[in-house]
Amino acid sequence: MQDVGNAFTSLMPLLADLDSGLLNQMRRFNSFQGRMVTLKEEYSATCPGCGTGTNHYHSEFCDTARCAKTGIQLISCEFFSEYEYAHVCENTTWTGYWPGVLDCFEYGLFAYFVPNVGFIPCTSDHPDAVCDLNTLVVKYDWDVKLQKRVPRNA
């Protein structure tokens, strides 16, 4: 099933701060509230979208899968690539972590949510910290070779 919040996060990164779907997505994947965000807590042996195991390819219509060419949600990328980019999408594997989570830990990107305000940057030891996937998508570009996001202009 199409995950609207997830698609918005991928396709409208500049509006991501306004997208409560991202918050719902993160809460659904894992209950982050009231404790420190850690890699151990983030790990999942199977994909929450399609149930595939670590290092195995996502199923064809998994809404968690990213396109290996763009880093965009695969099911959205395939649809929009016709208009925006000329490429054949490529599936990716489940790494054990939600797409972007490892990058957030590497770059120290965390935030907590304040209702009616949005996401406020913080450190990983803030009690309500979640991985700041918004900032990751807005300020970091997908590197096809590395299969991760890297700082823009790096």
Contacts to Zn ion by CB under 5 A: 47, 49-50, 58, 62, 64, 67, 69-70, 77, 81, 89
Asked if 64 contacts 94 with a C-beta cutoff of 8 angstroms, the reply is: yes
Task: Please identify, using beta-carbon distances, which residue of 88 and 154 lies nearer to Zn ion.
Answer: 88
| Min dist. Cβ of residue 109 to Zn ion (A) | 23
Asked if 57 contacts 67 with a C-beta cutoff of 8 angstroms, the reply is: no
| Min dist. Cβ of residue 71 to Zn ion (A) | 9
| Min dist. Cβ of residue 50 to Zn ion (A) | 3
Structure tokens belonging to residue 106:
């590497």
Task: Please identify, using beta-carbon distances, which residue of 11 and 36 lies nearer to Zn ion.
Answer: 11
Between the CA atoms of 79, 1, 15 and 82, what dihedral angle is there, to the nearest 10 degrees?
0
| Min dist. Cβ of residue 10 to Zn ion (A) | 11
Nearest one of 104, 106, 74, 76 to 92, comparing CA atoms: 74
Task: Please identify, using beta-carbon distances, which residue of 9 and 129 lies nearer to Zn ion.
Answer: 9
Task: Please identify, using beta-carbon distances, which residue of 24 and 95 lies nearer to Zn ion.
Answer: 95
Distances (CA, A) of 109 to 22, 75, 130: 15, 26, 9
Sorted by sequence, the CB contacts under 8 Å of residue 115 that are 6+ apart come out as none
